[in-house]
Amino acid sequence: MTPTPASPPAPSPAGNGSDSFAIQCEVLRLSIKPIGPVLLVQYLLNCGVAALFAWQFSLVRALAWIALITGVTAMRGFFPQRLPEPFTPASLREAQRTHTLRTAVWELAHGLAGVLLFNPARVDLQLLLGVIIMGMTLSSAFSVSFYTPATQLAITLLLAPIIVTGLWLGAPVMAAVAVIGIGLTAMMWKLVAERSRQLEENIGLRLNEHSLREQALAGLRASEQAQAERLRFFSAANHDLRQPVMAIGLQAEVLRHQLDDGASMEAVQHTVGSLARAQQALEGLTNQLLEIGRIEAAVDPLRPTTVALAPLLQELARQAGNGRVLVRCPPGAIAWSDTVSLRRVLANLVDNAVKFTPRGRVLLAVRARRRDGARAWRVEVRDRGIGIPPEAQQRVFDDFEQIGNVERNLQRGHGLGLAIVRRLATQLGIEVSLRSAPGRGSVFGFELPAAPEGAQATAQQPTAPAAKDEGAGATSTLRPGLAVLVVEDNAVVADSLAALLRQWEVEPRVYASAAEALALADLHALDAALCDIRLPGALDGIALAAKLQQQKPSLAIALISADITEATQRLAAEQGWRALRKPVQPEELRRMLLGVQQARG
């Protein structure tokens, strides 16, 4: 009952803007990661270099250089850079600048060996110093930083002093080494850039893998939660479905004993009334479950259009009956929404308000609002019923939740009306709010965008009252002699229909398939046909109805199904058929036959 999540995107090393930002943050974290043992080894090697040149060249210069090295080593080891958490683009840029500056100071101190330890008088010491600094360069390229600008600047500051000094004061062979140093600098720049690119790709892949893993875990958790919700839903549905089924079974057994014992007509009628109420409760629950299934499956696509609110609300007030519902709506209130879904939302809210308001009236109110600078209409359903405590106001929109019906009285619904409202509101993109207090009633409300200026509202199609249905003007008694074709593959349903028709002195002709009916039925003797839509074989009920109409245009035809969709209703209206939803109500079937009888004269 939840939509299938979309497939996650494939990993992309390059990444988008957010991925690049995350990669740069990770590169900087790796660059300032403490390297205590490596730092100690580097310092000891530097002390060895200083001791060598103090012995072979100048103690003072060697001490000056090792003092610089000691200072920058202490800075790096005991005063590491602290990174902001969490990173922002501005703080990342600032941290990168600080890291670049600290790295530059570190490598410049090492590079000054090319000046302080350079001996113009001895070529061998010049070459030794050059080799040592170039070795430092190779080491720095892989240890000083992973941030490309900082590493490239560090290499430049490390090699520049020995290159400049070698070209200026060095022997010819040292000048040649200095030129090699220039080439080494260019090569190291390219090497560092390539290494950084590979590192960023690896980090990007790792981040994508982590993201995909998190998405998979989130999807798994969502799936488990949806499964638990689905199990809870079907457990509650199973419980509430079994109650009217159990009531029907028990009352049927009571009726059987009453008939066997010759019970009074009053007792029999009471039992029959209980059976009818249980059947109505069962039908109401199955209809609601079917509606939830259709909403979850998005079977009925939204068709936003202009909706005149005043006629729609007046129609809902008339359907509530007994003057229980008042309407207060500006005559020019025209909203932009899906008419069918909006009607279902309001009908459920009105039904809920009427059921839980023992006394007093329900008010349907509409007023103009401004939302984000645009015109809108605020629609509210206000009642003075039992009210809802604050701790239960979110729960009332859950499946099978009812406040004030602890005894689970089936005549007061099943707790699915507001759950349907929640689902429909999500589809419509509206949010249903609730204000309520125990004993002071409730106000359910939502906002609808206003239709564009000058837009004309589509004509509303109110449901015709039952009293004006076909056959209502004729006599209420069916005369004997009507012949009705019943095509129904379910033997129990077929027998029940046939028994009811015989009770009305109507002649049923029952067949289990379309092919059987077309082959065996005497169509010229028939007055009406009841066609179940889902029939076995090549022809379904709709195809059968079309063939029957072709062979006998005057035949009254009704399609019967538990799943009468809007498309089926439109098709039936276009063809002049009826569409009866299972379980078919006897009065509805009776009205149809009265209409057939009236047409026959």
Distances (CA, A) of 273 to 241, 330, 453, 588: 19, 43, 53, 18
b/e map 244-259, b = 16+ CB within 10 Å = beebbeebeebbeebe
Following DSSP, what letter does each residue of 47-112 receive, concatenated? HHHHHHHHHHT-HHHHHHHHHHHHHHHHHHHHSPPPPPSS--HHHHHHHHHHHHHHHHHHHHHHHT
| 122 contact partners, CB below 8 Å, separation of at least 6 | 56, 57
Measure the CA angle with vertex 97, ends 93 and 102; round to 5°.
145
Q: Which class for 126: exposed (0-12), middle (13-18), buried (19 or more C-beta within 10 A)?
A: buried
Domain spanning 233-297: CATH 2.30.30.60: no
Cis peptide before 34 (omega within 30 of 0): no
The whole-number pLDDT of residue 293 equals 66
Domain with CATH 3.40.50.2300 in the chain: 483-600
Q: What is the pLDDT of residues 6-65, one digit of tens each?
A: 433 344 434 456 678 888 888 888 888 877 788 888 889 889 999 999 999 999 999 999
Distances (CA, A) of 228 to 5, 15, 223, 241: 17, 36, 8, 20
Which residue has tokens 């101190």?
109
| 45 contact partners, CB below 8 Å, separation of at least 6 | none
Q: What CATH number has the domain spanning 483-600?
A: 3.40.50.2300
Q: For residue 228, give both structure tokens.
A: 């638990």
Q: What is the pLDDT of residues 192-201, one digit of tens each?
A: 888 888 888 8
CA 17 to chain CA centroid, nearest Å: 25
Q: Which CATH superfamily is domain 305-449 in?
A: Histidine kinase-like ATPase, C-terminal domain (3.30.565.10)
Q: Could you tell me whether strands 433-436 and 362-371 are parallel, antiparallel, or unpaired per DSSP bridges?
A: unpaired
Consecutive 10-residue averages of pLDDT for the chain (601 residues): 40 55 86 80 89 91 92 88 87 90 90 91 90 83 80 89 91 90 88 85 84 84 74 62 74 83 85 78 67 64 86 87 86 88 87 82 88 85 85 74 54 68 85 87 90 64 42 61 90 88 90 91 90 90 92 92 82 91 85 87 65
Order of strands, sheet of 325-328, starting from the edge strand that comes earlier in the sequence: 325-328, 362-371, 374-383, 442-449, 433-436
Cis peptide before 311 (omega within 30 of 0): no
**Spatial distance between the Cα atoms of 327 and 357, rounded to a whole number of angstroms:** 16
The whole-number pLDDT of residue 601 equals 65
Nearest to 503 by CA among 593, 596, 577: 593
Which pTM was predicted?
0.48
Greatest Cα pair distance in the chain: 136
Nearest to 162 by CA among 71, 70, 47, 65: 65
Contact in structure between 444 and 380 (CB atoms under 8 Å): yes
CA atoms within 13 A of residue 20's CA, in its CB half-sphere: 6
Helices (H) and strands (E) counted in the chain, each on its own, are 17, 12
Task: Return contacts of 553-559, CB within 8 angstroms, 24+ apart.
Answer: 555/523, 555/526, 555/527, 555/528, 555/529, 556/527, 556/528, 556/529, 556/592, 556/595, 556/596, 556/599, 557/528, 557/529, 557/531, 558/528, 558/529, 558/530, 558/531, 558/589, 558/592, 559/531, 559/533
Other CB atoms within 10 Å distance of the CB of residue 491: 10
Contact in structure between 207 and 22 (CB atoms under 8 Å): yes
Other CB atoms within 10 Å distance of the CB of residue 291: 19
Contact in structure between 182 and 163 (CB atoms under 8 Å): yes
SS3 253: helix
- Residue 398 has φ and ψ, to the nearest 5°, of -80, 165
* Packed helices 541-551 and 566-575: angle between N→C axes, nearest 10 degrees: 0
Measure the CA angle with vertex 434, ends 433 and 440; round to 5°.
160
Residue type, position 8, single letter: P
Domain with CATH 1.10.287.130 in the chain: 233-297
